[in-house]
């Protein structure tokens, strides 16, 4: 590749997929291929709803537009630009969400019987990958902040202990950050993993903006030396829902990763999703540092205003202790609600139903308002005002409210073994002491309360019933009403 070609391909002002689609649009090609709506003509209702501009570029892979399964031209250029923007050795455009990215990451490093060290408060996509490949989790159970009831990061000494006790583990996986914005000491964990001959993987579903923090946000996985990272561009990066990136460092073979991705990812990659990744990467590369500085400032202002209301606790960097909370993502507006006598999910419902404000999630004790590149100060003011009014209207005694979000699991079998084992369905309360064979979780955030292979305890059953009663969206089991659970027969 010539020097001029290298400079051309690393010009972050370019968006190769977007440019190719615009050129294709002008060619007025007659479509005798899929999709069957034929640039929208065959589905006028869909075209009226989404617009001709959108359906006109919902096209199939073809030579001028490259192919996601084996990119050689514009998609390859887009991936090289993404790798450059994010400081990675290679980047993969992912159209199956960060779930697909996380699963590809785990499937790349793990095979049946391998051990992988990870915190238990991972997204279900991590455990789904273990069901698929047969790897065995070695859990580092995080500490819990007793006031907030949330799980924290992994302590360095916990990771060191797990590595020492499981020297044949193939990798350590880290949340960077957790849903609530809490970060472990990623640089130290990467070093410990590498010193032990293990890889380090990062679930950065909620950390896209770390790559454009300019030192004011926690360290990104690639900057910390991690080997692989799943980056959810559609969350804080501005791309369309379901679009994501998988980043790898220099010690992971990109050809093998592509093979792993192609085991599960669609062969009909959406050009709407890919072009949104391309355009969003360009936007972040050119303006990300300035934009995320403004987002962090807005979140800090909101924290101060919410805490001034009283009763609520919008937590931030004061939680940092140098270990289990090594750093905090200041763009995350997480608010503890129990002191006004309301569960987080109750505040979530009131905000939506009575104030037309949709926040990211509410759980037993907290809410999360997700701030990113599209937020404006006037919306922050509206949220703060609504929370103040909710406190005035609904404040009550919080006696009897549960606070604990995280319950240490008792692991009795590997996720794959339990998921595929003979099973039976029992009424919820009759499952105490049995081994679960399916997932149970509140979504969002999608962190399992129970995963296949874990023993069902009275504490867990109490939590499930309490979360259901408070209105949490419960997902996972075969029984949609979660009146029964599947357990090992």
Residues 318-354: pLDDT tens digits?
A: 999 999 999 999 999 999 999 999 999 999 999 999 9
Out of 394, 428, 448, pick the residue that ends a domain.
394
Q: Which pLDDT score, from 0 to 100, does residue 408 have?
A: 81
Task: Please tell me whether residues 281 and 292 are part of one structural domain.
Answer: no
Task: Please tell me whether residues 77 and 225 are part of one structural domain.
Answer: yes
Q: Is residue 117 part of a domain?
A: yes
Region 140-153 average pLDDT = 90
| 403 band by pLDDT with thresholds 50, 70 and 90 | low
Euclidean distance between CA atoms 221 and 415, whole angstroms? 27
Residues 349-358: pLDDT tens digits?
A: 999 999 999 9
Residues 449-478: pLDDT tens digits?
A: 999 999 999 999 998 998 888 888 888 999
| 238 band by pLDDT with thresholds 50, 70 and 90 | very high
Say yes or no to pLDDT of 284 above 90: yes
Region 145-155 average pLDDT = 91
Instruction: Among 74-83, 203-212, 475-484, name the one with the lowest average pLDDT.
Output: 475-484
Out of 285, 320, 349, pick the residue that ends a domain.
285
Instruction: Among 160-164, 217-221, 409-413, name the one with the lowest average pLDDT.
Output: 409-413
Residues 356-386: pLDDT tens digits?
A: 999 999 988 999 999 999 999 999 999 999 9
Out of 268, 285, 302, pick the residue that ends a domain.
285
Dihedral (Cα; 119, 124, 125, 129), 10-degree rounding: 80
Q: Which pLDDT score, from 0 to 100, does residue 6 have?
A: 43
Region 393-414 average pLDDT = 82
Q: What are the φ/ψ torsions at residue 279 (nearest 5 degrees)?
A: -70, -40
Number of compact structural domains in the chain: 3
Euclidean distance between CA atoms 177 and 62, whole angstroms? 38
Q: Is residue 13 part of a domain?
A: no
Q: What Rg, from alpha-carbon coordinates, does the chain have?
A: 23
Region 255-275 average pLDDT = 96
Burial grade of 211 (CB within 10 A; 0-12, 13-18, 19 or more):
buried
CATH number at residue 292: 3.90.1150.10
Task: Please tell me whether residues 303 and 275 are part of one structural domain.
Answer: no
Task: Please tell me whether residues 71 and 98 are part of one structural domain.
Answer: yes
Strand locations in 219-377 (E): 228-231, 244-248, 313-314, 327-328, 332-336, 361-362, 366-370
Say yes or no to pLDDT of 3 above 50: no
Q: Is residue 39 part of a domain?
A: no
Instruction: Among 85-99, 115-129, 141-155, name the one with the lowest average pLDDT.
Output: 141-155
Task: Please tell me whether residues 423 and 370 are part of one structural domain.
Answer: no
Q: Which pLDDT score, from 0 to 100, does residue 204 have?
A: 98
Q: Is residue 219 part of a domain?
A: yes
Task: Please tell me whether residues 373 and 422 are part of one structural domain.
Answer: no
Convert 68-94 to b/e letters by CB count within 10 Å (16 or more is b). Answer: beebeebbbbbbbbbbbbbebebbbbb
Q: Is residue 184 part of a domain?
A: yes
- Quote the domain boundaries for residue 456: 415-488
Closest CA relative to residue 232, chosen from 124, 103, 99 = 99
Task: Please tell me whether residues 338 and 241 are part of one structural domain.
Answer: no
Q: Which pLDDT score, from 0 to 100, does residue 405 have?
A: 64
Region 207-214 average pLDDT = 95
Task: Please tell me whether residues 441 and 354 are part of one structural domain.
Answer: no
Region 126-146 average pLDDT = 93
Say yes or no to pLDDT of 402 above 50: yes
Q: Is residue 35 part of a domain?
A: no
Neighbours of 208 (CB within 10 A): 28
Region 228-253 average pLDDT = 97
Percent of the chain with pLDDT over 70: 97
CATH number at residue 421: 3.90.105.10
Euclidean distance between CA atoms 452 and 457, whole angstroms? 14
CATH number at residue 112: 3.40.640.10
Q: Is residue 12 part of a domain?
A: no
Region 182-187 average pLDDT = 98
Burial grade of 330 (CB within 10 A; 0-12, 13-18, 19 or more):
buried
Say yes or no to pLDDT of 243 above 90: yes
Say yes or no to pLDDT of 10 above 90: no
Q: Which pLDDT score, from 0 to 100, does residue 448 have?
A: 87
Say yes or no to pLDDT of 8 above 50: no
Q: Which pLDDT score, from 0 to 100, does residue 45 have?
A: 95
Region 273-277 average pLDDT = 98
Q: Which pLDDT score, from 0 to 100, does residue 443 have?
A: 75
Token digits of residue 290: 């300035």
Task: Please tell me whether residues 385 and 454 are part of one structural domain.
Answer: no
Say yes or no to pLDDT of 219 above 70: yes
Instruction: Among 9-18, 238-247, 333-342, 400-409, name the one with the lowest average pLDDT.
Output: 400-409
Say yes or no to pLDDT of 2 above 50: no
| 232 band by pLDDT with thresholds 50, 70 and 90 | very high
Q: Which pLDDT score, from 0 to 100, does residue 404 have?
A: 66
Q: What is the DSSP letter of 6?
A: H
Task: Please tell me whether residues 365 and 266 are part of one structural domain.
Answer: no
Euclidean distance between CA atoms 455 and 11, whole angstroms? 53
Task: Please tell me whether residues 471 and 482 are part of one structural domain.
Answer: yes
Closest CA relative to residue 60, chosen from 83, 84, 90, 39 = 39
Furthest-apart CA atoms within the chain: distance in Å: 70
- Higher pLDDT pick, 205 / 397: 205
Task: Please tell me whether residues 277 and 343 are part of one structural domain.
Answer: no
Region 193-207 average pLDDT = 98
Q: Which pLDDT score, from 0 to 100, does residue 4 have?
A: 39
Q: Is residue 96 part of a domain?
A: yes
- Higher pLDDT pick, 411 / 387: 387
């Amino acid at each position: 590749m010539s020097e001029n070609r290298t400079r051309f391909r690393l010009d972050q002002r370019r968006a190769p997929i977007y440019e190719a689609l615009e050129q294709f649009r002008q060619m007025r090609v007659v479509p005798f291929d899929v999709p069957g709506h034929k640039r929208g003509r065959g589905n006028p209702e869909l075209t009226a709803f989404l617009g001709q501009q959108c359906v006109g570029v919902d096209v199939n892979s073809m030579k001028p537009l490259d192919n996601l399964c084996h990119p050689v031209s514009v998609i390859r250029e887009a991936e090289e630009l993404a790798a450059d923007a994010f400081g990675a050795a290679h980047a993969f455009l992912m159209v199956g969400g960060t779930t697909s990215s996380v699963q590809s990451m785990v499937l790349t490093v793990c095979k049946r019987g391998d051990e992988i060290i990870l915190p238990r408060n991972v997204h279900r996509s991590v455990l789904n990958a273990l069901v698929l490949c047969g790897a065995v989790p070695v859990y580092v159970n995080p500490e819990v902040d007793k006031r907030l009831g949330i799980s924290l990061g992994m302590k360095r000494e916990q990771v060191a202990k797990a590595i020492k006790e499981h020297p044949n583990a193939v990798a350590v996986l880290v949340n960077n950050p957790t849903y609530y914005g809490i970060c472990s000491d990623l640089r130290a964990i990467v070093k410990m993993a590498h010193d032990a001959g293990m890889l380090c993987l990062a679930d950065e579903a909620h950390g896209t903006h770390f790559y454009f923090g300019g030192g004011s946000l926690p360290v990104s996985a690639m900057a910390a030396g991690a080997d692989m990272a799943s980056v959810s561009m559609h969350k804080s990066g501005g791309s369309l829902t379901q679009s994501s990136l998988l980043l790898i460092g220099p010690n992971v073979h990109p050809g093998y990763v592509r093979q792993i991705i192609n085991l599960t990812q669609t062969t009909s990659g959406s050009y709407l999703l890919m072009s949104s990744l391309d355009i969003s990467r360009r936007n972040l590369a050119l303006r990300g540092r300035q934009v995320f500085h403004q987002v962090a400032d807005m979140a800090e202002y909101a924290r101060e205003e919410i805490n001034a209301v009283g009763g609520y606790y919008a937590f931030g960097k004061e939680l940092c202790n140098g270990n289990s909370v090594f750093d905090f993502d200041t763009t995350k507006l997480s608010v503890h609600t129990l002191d006004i006598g309301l569960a987080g999910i109750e505040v979530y419902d009131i905000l939506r139903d009575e104030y037309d404000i949709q926040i990211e999630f509410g759980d037993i004790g907290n809410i999360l308002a997700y701030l990113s590149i599209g937020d404006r100060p006037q919306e922050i003011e509206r949220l703060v005002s609504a929370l103040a009014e909710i406190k005035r209207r609904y404040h009550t005694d919080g006696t009897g409210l549960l606070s604990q979000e995280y319950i240490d699991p008792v692991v009795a079998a590997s996720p794959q073994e339990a998921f595929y084992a003979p099973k039976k369905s029992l009424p919820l309360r009759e499952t105490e002491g049995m081994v679960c064979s399916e997932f149970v979780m509140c979504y969002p955030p999608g962190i399992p309360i129970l995963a296949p292979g874990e023993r069902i305890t009275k504490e867990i059953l109490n939590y499930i019933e309490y979360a259901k009663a408070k209105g949490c969206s419960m997902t996972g089991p075969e029984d949609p009403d979660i009146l029964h659970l599947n357990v090992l027969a």
